[in-house]
Amino acid sequence: MTPPLLVRDLAQLATPAPVPRPRRGRALGDVLVLEDAYVLCRDGLIAEVGRMRDLAPLAADVVEVDGRGLSAVPGLVDCHTHPAWGGDRVTEFSLRAGGASYEELHAAGGGILSTVLATRALDETALCECVRRHAGWMLRHGTTTWEGKSGYGLDHDTELASLRAIRAAGGSPTWLGAHAVPPEFADADAYLEYALAEVLPAAAEIASAADVFLEGGAFDAKQARRYLAACADAGLALRLHGDQFAEAGSIPLAVELGARSVDHLEATRDAGIRALAASDVTAVLLPASALFLGRPMPPARALVDAGAAVALATDFNPGSAFTESLPLVASLACTQLRLTPEEALTAVTVNAAHVLDAGRAGELSAGSSADLVLLDAPDWRYLAYHLAGDVVHTVILGGEVAAVR
C-alpha cells in the first residue's frame, strides 16, 4: 500500500468545473481557482482538495510534497496522438522548410507511407519501446491520460502490434485502420475490403475506438462510412480526421453515425460550425499541426461561441505535428485560436476526457483519480502563458510522483 500523499502550500490550484461533460459555449470557461491550497491523495484517488487553513491534522505516515511557489492543475488529457511509429520524417521536414508542401510529399509516396515502411520494419519489442519512449515524453509534459492511434502499420500484424504497444504503455488504443492506402493494394476499396475482413475482428478486441482520415488522397465519405459503420458494429467508438485540407463530408457523416469527435477542422466553414454546435460530436482542434504545416488555424472561437463542445490535443506524430506538449497547445489556443486560458484548460482536461469516455479524468476533486500537474509558476495560467517554457515541475499519477524535474 502506498502511503497517502499531501501536496501542501500550493500558491494556486485550478480545476475546470467537472460536470456536465462536455463543457460547451460559456461553460468552457468555468474554472475554479483556490489560493493557498492543498490536495490530499489516498489509494490512487483524490481524498480532499481545499485551502490550507482548513487542513485537518494528518496521520504520521503521510508523504508531503512542498507546493510553495507552484500551482496545480489536473493531469492533462491528450485525446489525439499517433505514438506508434518507426523512423522519422526529419528529411521531409527539411524539404518542407525549403518550400515543398505536405500534400505534394504525401502524393509522391513520402509522408504517411514512408512512416508505414519504417514502422513495419520494427518487431513488436522495438515498437513497444518506441511507444513507451513517446509516452514518457508526454508524461514529462503533464499528460497523464492519453489516446494513441495505430495507422502506421496498415497490415494485420503491425496494426495489432501497434494497438498492443499503446495499451501496454498506458494509452487508450484507437484503430486508425483507414489512415492511408498501403502500396500493396490497388485502391482504397480493395484495402478496406482486406482491413475490415482481416484486421477489424482482432483490432476490436484491443481498441476502444476507430478513426479514419477522410480527405482527398486518403478515404472519401463513402469509404469512410463503410469503414466506420463496420467498426461501430464491432463495438468501437468512432472518430474522424476531417476538414484538415478541405471540407469533404466529415461533419455530416460524424453526426449521422454518432461519432465522438471530428478532429482537425482547419477548413471548416459556417455550415459545419453550426452542424457541430447542434450535435453531440466534439470538435477536437489540433493547432500544433496547423502550426507545423503552416496551415490556417481552425475556427475555435466561432465553434465555442456557437456552443460546440471543443477539445484540444497535440496530434503528436512524426509528420504533421512532432510535439508531445499540451502546454504548448494551450499556448497556441490562447495566442492563435483566441481562446482564454480557462477555455484552453477545459479543452485539454475534461472535454478531452469526454472524447475518450475516460470517467472523471481531467478534474481535481474528491473521488477523481489522483492525477495532477504542479506547474513551476505562482499562477496556473502560466500553463498557456509560458510559451514553450519549462513549466511542468512535477507530475503525480495515481497519487504517486511519476515525474519530477
Pick from 315, 324, 343, 363: which binds ligand NIG (CB under 6 A)? Answer: 315
The dihedral through the CA atoms of 191, 194, 196, 198 has a sign that is: negative
**DSSP H helical segments within 84-174, as ranges?**
90-97, 102-107, 111-120, 124-140, 156-168
CB–CB of 146/172 below 8 Å? yes
Binding flag, residue 241, ligand NIG (CB under 6 A): yes
63 phi, psi to nearest 5 deg: -85, 130
CB–CB of 330/323 below 8 Å? no
The residue range among 18-26, 48-56, 318-326, 327-335 that interacts with ligand NIG, by the rule CB under 6 A, is 318-326
Pick from 38, 213, 219, 316: which binds ligand NIG (CB under 6 A)? Answer: 213
Q: Rounded to whole angstroms, how far apart are CA atoms 226 and 229? A: 5
Report the residue number, 38 or 152, with the smaller CB distance to Fe ion. Answer: 152
Helix, strand, coil percentages in the chain from 3-state DSSP, rounded to 5: 40, 25, 35
Residues 248-287 close enough to bind ligand NIG by CB under 6 A: none
Binding flag, residue 150, ligand NIG (CB under 6 A): no
Side-chain-facing half-sphere of 399: CA atoms under 13 Å: 21
Binding flag, residue 317, ligand NIG (CB under 6 A): yes
Beta pairing, strands 392-397 & 261-264: unpaired
User: CB nearest Fe ion: which residue?
Assistant: 315
> Nearest approach, Cβ of 101 to Fe ion (angstroms)?
18
Report the residue number, 292 or 382, with the smaller CB distance to Fe ion. Answer: 292
Which of ligand NIG, Fe ion, none lies near 111, with the C-beta cut-off 5 to 8 A by kind?
Answer: ligand NIG
Report the residue number, 161 or 374, with the smaller CB distance to ligand NIG. Answer: 161
Side-chain-facing half-sphere of 393: CA atoms under 13 Å: 19
Q: Which three cell numbers stand for residue 305?
A: 461561441
Which of ligand NIG, Fe ion, none lies near 298, with the C-beta cut-off 5 to 8 A by kind?
Answer: none
Binding flag, residue 174, ligand NIG (CB under 6 A): no
Report the residue number, 90 or 278, with the smaller CB distance to ligand NIG. Answer: 90
The residues binding Fe ion (CB under 5 A) are 315
Interface map 108-127 toward ligand NIG (x if CB under 6 A): ---xx--x------------
Report the residue number, 46 or 79, with the smaller CB distance to Fe ion. Answer: 79
User: CB nearest ligand NIG: which residue?
Assistant: 319
Which of ligand NIG, Fe ion, none lies near 319, with the C-beta cut-off 5 to 8 A by kind?
Answer: ligand NIG
- Tell me how crowded residue 370 is: count the other CB atoms within 10 A of its CB: 24
Residues with Cβ within 8 Å of 278's Cβ and at least 6 positions away in sequence, in order, are 307
* DSSP letter for each residue of 178-215: ESS--TTSSSHHHHHHHIIIIIHHHHHHH-SEEEEEBS
> Nearest approach, Cβ of 294 to Fe ion (angstroms)?
17
DSSP state of 170: T
Which of ligand NIG, Fe ion, none lies near 177, with the C-beta cut-off 5 to 8 A by kind?
Answer: none
272: buried, middle or exposed (CB in 10 Å: 19+, 13-18, 0-12)? buried
> Nearest approach, Cβ of 225 to ligand NIG (angstroms)?
18
> Nearest approach, Cβ of 278 to ligand NIG (angstroms)?
25
Interface map 83-112 toward ligand NIG (x if CB under 6 A): ----------------------------xx
Residues with Cβ within 8 Å of 94's Cβ and at least 6 positions away in sequence, in order, are none
The SS3 assignment for 221 reads: helix
Binding flag, residue 319, ligand NIG (CB under 6 A): yes
Which of Fe ion, ligand NIG, none lies near 261, with the C-beta cut-off 5 to 8 A by kind?
Answer: none
Binding flag, residue 320, ligand NIG (CB under 6 A): yes
What does the binding site for ligand NIG look like in residue numbers (CB under 6 A)? 82, 111-112, 115, 213, 241, 244, 289, 315, 317-321
